[in-house]
Amino acid sequence: GRFNSDPAHFPYHQPMAGEVSGADHKFVQGLLASRKEESLFVGQLDHVVKGKPEKYIMVITKFRMFSIKSGSNKLAQQCHLLEIEAIKSHAPTELDIKTFKFELSGVSAHVDAIITAIRRALSLTFPSLPENHPNLDVRPSSRLEDVPQKELLLGGFVDTYSSLCDFQNHVRREEICWDMEHTYVRRNIKEFDLSEFEQPISPADMRALLGALRFNKYFRTLIADSNALGRDQIGFLAEGLRHNSFLEELVLKNIGLKHDFVTMLTTALSSNKDIALNRLDLSDNPLEDKGLIALSNYIQTSPRGIVSLDVSNGQAGKAGVAALAAALKKNVKMPSTLTHLNLSGNKLESEGTSGLAAFLSTPNALRTLILANTAANLELIFPAIMRGCAELRTLDVSHSKITKKEAPNLARLASSSATLKTLNLAGTLIPVDSLKEVLGCIVANPYMQDVVLDLKENALGLPGALMIQSIAAKITNIVNLYLSDHDLRDEGVAAV
């Protein structure tokens, strides 16, 4: 603990000779040492008590403001800088500071230096704090110095996290700060991944970490993968999303996200007019229909559209999927922004399929469509893709049954596509004759090159092996062909 005299780090106010006595100086040094902080301002601010001025020493650090009655060797008042609501000064020597806890009025020759120290401390620790916090009433306004935005390591995240720990009266995790200041900086990591930190993360640390994202301009991705988040943690995250305009990707995978939690998050997202979020992964959560419907309410009004959306294994049914499909179609940004859509593990059935087909049939920018294990009506999906998905590179309809009824449309898709590279038909139980037709169309399509075809778990048996053998010489544009779990037996394996 020491007085900070490095002007390159922070403009420090040096007390005038005689302004701070030796005893007061010693007490301040002890205070700073106990808190492991540096002072940003130390000087006299006489409080007005019952109409008479009494000598007090004002100390401002990066996180807090302290008031010490001269000669008392004890704190009179203290608060975190975030607790300052308003600063009023209508004369260069008069100051009134209103906090959540108390109101401090006094006179000093250094009022402008005090105000500047508070404002600059907040700008360094909370870079995106609203300009009206704290509320400033300083006359004339020309007394307010410019507070330039300084480029900070990781957008000042470590200081923000540390300050919020101080605000909550909670000891910060030193290894988290070390990782941030060394590994993250050295590798220029812009993904904030909660699973990278030593587990478990206490509720208090989670609150400070998620709270720090609210003020951060550096990180572009937040990842919580298999980190169980309760209602309180989701609330802290929602509050951050309500204000952060720099996060572009949110990955909340397998965190126990239920429908009411989704409502909390989407309400926050909808209230943020400057939201930058365009990639959303809520996979492996028990969203159910209610959760998907809540998400849809946000999707349909997302101001910038969504580039990537993954709600796989969300335990949703036809009502939820239908609501999501309607939202995708309603938002005019989606046809040009959405490139990745994963609905696998949710049950589309007839209602969900009809809604999704309506979106897919409209010209769109989809490159990846994953409908594995969705009970989708592929008789509607395949024609819709042909009409609207001109950019599609990857199609996964695995474990959705393909009969002789759906197969002709799949063959036409394989024949007409100019972009398809990866086709997953695993577990579709496609008949051997129908598969032969599809393979023939792939082989005959000059635009389909370097194709990856997954045919696992289709019970093709010996007839399938012989069929593949019969056309093998023509298969020159398929680079990976997966044929496991077909009960081919020795004769079939030999044929392939």
Query: How far is residue 170's CA from residue 260's CA, in Å, rounded to a whole number?
Result: 29
Q: Which residue has the tokens 């410019």?
A: 146
User: Mean pLDDT across the stretch 111-120?
Assistant: 94
362: CB partners within 8 A, 6+ apart: 329, 335, 388
pLDDT tens digits, residue range 26-45?
Answer: 999 999 999 999 999 999 99
Burial class (CB in 10 A: 0-12, 13-18, 19+), 477: middle
494: CB partners within 8 A, 6+ apart: none
- Can you state the angle between helices 378-388 and 349-360, rounded to 10 degrees? 10
**Closest to 297 in 3D by CA, of 335, 271, 336, 258:** 271
**Closest to 218 in 3D by CA, of 243, 246, 258:** 246
Provide the 8-state DSSP code for 370: E
Among 194-198, 376-380, 420-424, which stretch is predicted with the lowest mean pLDDT? 194-198
Burial class (CB in 10 A: 0-12, 13-18, 19+), 56: buried
Cis omega (within 30 of 0) for bond into 200:
yes
pLDDT tens digits, residue range 339-362?
Answer: 999 999 999 999 999 999 999 999
Query: How far is residue 133's CA from residue 108's CA, in Å, rounded to a whole number?
Result: 23
User: Mean pLDDT across the stretch 463-489?
Assistant: 84
Structure tokens at 474: 């023509």
Query: How far is residue 261's CA from residue 51's CA, in Å, rounded to a whole number?
Result: 53
The pTM of this model reads 0.89
Query: How far is residue 465's CA from residue 487's CA, in Å, rounded to a whole number?
Result: 10
Structure tokens at 155: 């957008």
**Closest to 204 in 3D by CA, of 174, 228, 180, 236:** 236
pLDDT tens digits, residue range 55-67?
Answer: 999 999 999 999 9
Count other Cβ atoms within 10 Å, centred on residue 227: 20
Contact 67, 57 (CB under 8 A): yes
User: Mean pLDDT across the stretch 309-325?
Assistant: 97
Terminal CA-CA length for the chain:
76
Q: Mean pLDDT in the chain?
A: 91
Among 144-153, 171-180, 236-245, which stretch is predicted with the lowest mean pLDDT? 144-153
Contact 119, 147 (CB under 8 A): yes
Torsion of CA 92, 94, 96, 102, to 10 degrees: 140
Among 70-79, 150-159, 327-336, 487-496, which stretch is predicted with the lowest mean pLDDT? 487-496
Strand partners of residue 309: 280, 341
325 three-class SS: helix
User: Mean pLDDT across the stretch 143-160?
Assistant: 90
- pLDDT of 251: 97
Structure tokens at 486: 């077909």
Query: How far is residue 393's CA from residue 422's CA, in Å, rounded to a whole number?
Result: 6
- The number of CA neighbours under 13 Å toward the Cβ of 445 is 23
Contact 330, 300 (CB under 8 A): yes
Burial class (CB in 10 A: 0-12, 13-18, 19+), 150: exposed
Query: How far is residue 45's CA from residue 461's CA, in Å, rounded to a whole number?
Result: 89
56 three-class SS: strand
Q: 451 pLDDT exceeds 70?
A: yes
User: Mean pLDDT across the stretch 11-18?
Assistant: 53
What is the length of the chain?
496
- pLDDT of 227: 86
User: How many whole angstroms from its chain centre is CA 422?
Assistant: 29
**Closest to 107 in 3D by CA, of 51, 28, 65:** 51
- pLDDT of 19: 80
% of the chain with per-residue pLDDT over 70: 94
Count other Cβ atoms within 10 Å, centred on residue 436: 19
User: Percentages helix, strand, coil for the chain, rounded to the nearest 5?
Assistant: 40, 20, 40
Query: How far is residue 280's CA from residue 274's CA, in Å, rounded to a whole number?
Result: 17
pLDDT tens digits, residue range 207-262?
Answer: 999 999 999 999 999 999 998 888 999 999 999 999 999 999 999 999 999 999 99
